[in-house]
Amino acid sequence: MDVDTNQPLGTPTWIELAVPDLHAGLEFYRAVFGWSVRSGPEEYGGYTHFLLRDRPVAGIFQTAEPQPSAWTVSLATPDVDETVLRARQAGGTVVEEPVDVMAHGRAAQLRDAVDARFALWQGRDHVGCQVVNEPGSLVRNDLVTPTPEPARKFYAAVFDFTLDRNEDMPDIDFTFLRRPDGHEVGGIMGAPGAAASAWNTTFEVAGTDDVVQRAVDAGGSSTGVEEFRYGRMATITDPFGAEFSVITRPAE
């Protein structure tokens, strides 16, 4: 699915990864997903777009900051400053205040009411991921948290989401997040054993087992492949400790 315009409020619209070694990060993800790359100016940390069909699907950059590597999801907004205000009122905190990113857009970094980090993106020249929901691209983002109720209240208040419990999995505390138009944009997983709250990024792939093997061969690790109600899924950890998931969805 190609995306050429800014997404509605609250839709996951961009994903990016900060790594201590840009070259190694590029090599790993190119090996795993077969992505090509487009590099940006050195003064911006060599910020690089991963490309699928010559269209941006994710970003990666090098950082010297002593922080764990993790994929960060940006949620779309037509007004970053207004959404930051709503997030503060709902119990969130601002990690990085709104800032213009050249002509590309306006961004902010926040933590929600359960301390999970995410970003906001108000697209201008850069709308975000230009390919989604096909092999090699972003297919969904879910918040995993030991305290789901404050998270549900926060995201409903900030992004006008409606909350629908997943009745297909009655033994799991999973809530769909839906925009006012009814479109599902993600979910909140209640996981009592989770050490902390964090957003998880999932990529669609054509063959989960093959992708896991490529990741392991490239220096990553995985807990293994499992059959899931919605497809064949695996969690992968890259060489820098950043986790992400991959899924092969059943043929329709």
Classify residue 171 by burial, with Cβ atoms within 10 Å: 0-12, 13-18, 19+: exposed
What pLDDT score does 252 carry?
67
Identify the domain boundary among 65, 99, 123.
123
User: Based on the domain organization, do 40 and 118 belong to the same domain?
Assistant: yes
Q: What is the pLDDT along the chain (252 residues), one digit of tens a residue?
A: 999 999 999 999 999 999 999 999 999 999 999 999 998 755 556 799 999 999 999 999 998 777 789 999 999 999 999 999 999 999 999 999 999 998 999 999 999 999 999 999 999 999 999 999 999 999 999 999 999 999 999 999 999 999 999 888 788 899 999 999 999 999 999 999 999 999 999 999 999 999 999 999 999 999 999 998 889 999 999 999 999 999 999 876
Shared domain for 154 and 242, answered yes or no, is: yes
Residue 2 lies in a domain: no
Give the chain's domain count.
2
Of 71, 99, 123, the position where a domain reaches its end is: 123
CB atoms within 10 A of CB 55: 14
> Do 79 and 109 belong to one domain?
yes
At 43 the pLDDT is 52
Whether residues 168 and 74 fall in one domain: no
pLDDT confidence of residue 42 = 55
One domain for residues 189 and 164: yes
Residues 22, 117 share a domain: yes
Q: In terms of domains, do 47 and 80 share one? A: yes
Residue 132 within any structural domain of the chain = no
Give the per-residue pLDDT at 44.
58
- Domain boundary (123, 146, 163) is at 123
129 located within any domain: no
pLDDT attached to residue 145? 98
What does the angle CA 138 – CA 80 – CA 6 come to, to the nearest 5 degrees?
A: 45
Does the pTM exceed 0.75?
A: yes
Residue 116, domain member (yes or no): yes
Domain enclosing residue 159, as ranges: 137-248
Helix, strand or coil, per DSSP, at residue 169 = coil
Q: How many CB atoms lie within 10 A of CB 214?
A: 18
Q: Would residue 4 count as lying in a domain?
A: no
Assigned domain for 76 exists: yes
The CATH number of whichever domain residue 237 belongs to comes to 3.10.180.10
The answer to whether residue 238 is domain-embedded is yes
Q: In terms of domains, do 68 and 144 share one?
A: no
Q: Does 131 fall in a domain?
A: no
Residues 111 and 158 in one domain: no
Could you tell me the CA-to-CA distances from 234 to 158, 205, 215, 244 in Å, in that order? 31, 11, 11, 9
3-state secondary structure of 243: strand
Q: Based on C-alpha coordinates, what's the Rg of the chain?
A: 17
Q: Residue 41's pLDDT is what?
A: 58
Residues 95 and 142 in one domain: no
Q: Is 221 exposed, middle or buried (0-12, 13-18, 19+ CB in 10 A)?
A: middle
